Amino acid sequence: MNLKRNGALLGVVAVGAMTLAACGSDNNAGSSTVDTSASEASCEGKERLSGAGSSAQKNAMDQFTSSYIAACQQKGVSVNVAYNPSGSGDGRTQFIADQVDFAGSDSAINGEQADLARERCAGNDPWNLPLVFGPVALAYNLDGVDDLVLSGETIAKIFNGGITRWNDPAIAELNPDAALPDEEISPISRSDSSGTTDNFQKYLMAASNGAWTAGAGSDFMGGVGEGAKGSAGVAQAVSSDPGSITYVEISFADQQNLPAAQIDTGSGPVALTLETASKAIEDAAFAGSGTGDMTLDLTSIYGTNEAGAYPLVLATYEIVCSGGYDAETAAAVKSFLTSAANEGQQTLGEQGYVPLPESFREKLDESIAAIG
């Protein structure tokens, strides 16, 4: 089930890109074309920016960098961005230590780290700007069942051992026309620490009506099933194990030709498509005002019952100083992020990401413009 955009893009710049890799475990080459002719990037400021952190967004960052370089070349300006996919925690640490200009992170910077970042930013608040979104599929291997429907509660019970067989009455109620086998369910989780696991468990906390009590975190807390390393690992494990199910980025499910379960959020089953994942983002709320800092209220995404919105979407941030940069760095950060939030989004849907909806991008553009 490939995510595809409607309509053709008029491309003038070929951009090397990769499919979505969860926390840097796996990369898969691809290519796409981006039109940079209308770029609003100023291409001002210092020539070379540095960033580090989330490897889930590394492949999107490759595209952002390529399209930014191309946009500035059209204006006769040479620029570059060096991004090290060293992991979210390391990215935040390097940002606090003033070793990079921005950090990529699967989680918003907060608490003590935000206080330390404020010192680095000369007393100004650090801002969390959500720039890259990737949908997560419930990929499964169940012969004869192509349109499986699950709910937040049944997903939680599958992954904590509360539901152990595919013909359980709770699953049968959601799938009245399916021939569900009397077969044991084999849940497969990430054996390595993963931002995908953290977000999956946050989703279960928000959407399971209290069925998930194990909490969240980068390590799987459900206590049942088998583990496999990396996104490619869990997808391959499901492909070779009839009766199994996992949570994984859609690109890896596609590679193994695995179907993805629809999720019933209370307003009917919702299939994972570019449009349904985008709708969940479009309706997202913010922990604060959403002006400047754009830390997401993840419950508004994960707990949505909006008709046609697919809720299981991984959000990753760029962490920047709202002020306190020197003038050259501030100009370059704003220029790069402007490019990334606009032309940089054009072909992300072809690579397993969700391009930003228009209304969301407008809010992001306002925050980027306000960086001092």
Is residue 208 part of an annotated ligand binding site? no
* pLDDT tens-digit map of 352-369: 899 999 999 999 999 999
- And the tokens for 280? 């969940």
* pTM for this prediction: 0.81
Is residue 191 part of an annotated ligand binding site? no
Which pLDDT band, with edges at 50, 70 and 90, does 153 fall under?
Answer: very high
In eight-state DSSP terms, residue 121 is T
- pLDDT score recorded for residue 9: 29
Mean predicted lDDT score pLDDT of the chain = 90
CA distance 145 to 224: 23
Q: Are 123 and 237 in contact (CB under 8 A)?
A: no
Q: Are 134 and 353 in contact (CB under 8 A)?
A: yes
Stretch 344-358: mean pLDDT, rounded?
90
Is residue 88 part of an annotated ligand binding site? yes
Examine the pLDDT at 217 and tell me if it is beyond 50. Answer: yes
Is residue 55 part of an annotated ligand binding site? yes
Question: What are the angstrom distances between the C-alpha of 10 and each of 14, 158, 355?
Answer: 11, 44, 16
- pLDDT score recorded for residue 15: 40
Is residue 105 part of an annotated ligand binding site? no
Residues of the chain with CATH 3.40.190.10: 13-134+316-369, 136-276
- pLDDT score recorded for residue 88: 87
First CA to last CA distance, the chain: 42
Is residue 196 part of an annotated ligand binding site? yes
Which range of 78-82, 194-198, 247-251, 296-300 scores highest in mean pLDDT? It is 78-82
CATH number of 136-276: 3.40.190.10
Is residue 56 part of an annotated ligand binding site? yes
CA distance 287 to 300: 10
Is residue 106 part of an annotated ligand binding site? yes
Examine the pLDDT at 262 and tell me if it is beyond 90. Answer: yes
Question: Which carries the bigger pLDDT value, residue 30 or residue 281?
Answer: 281
What CATH homologous superfamily does 13-134+316-369 map to? Periplasmic binding protein-like II (3.40.190.10)
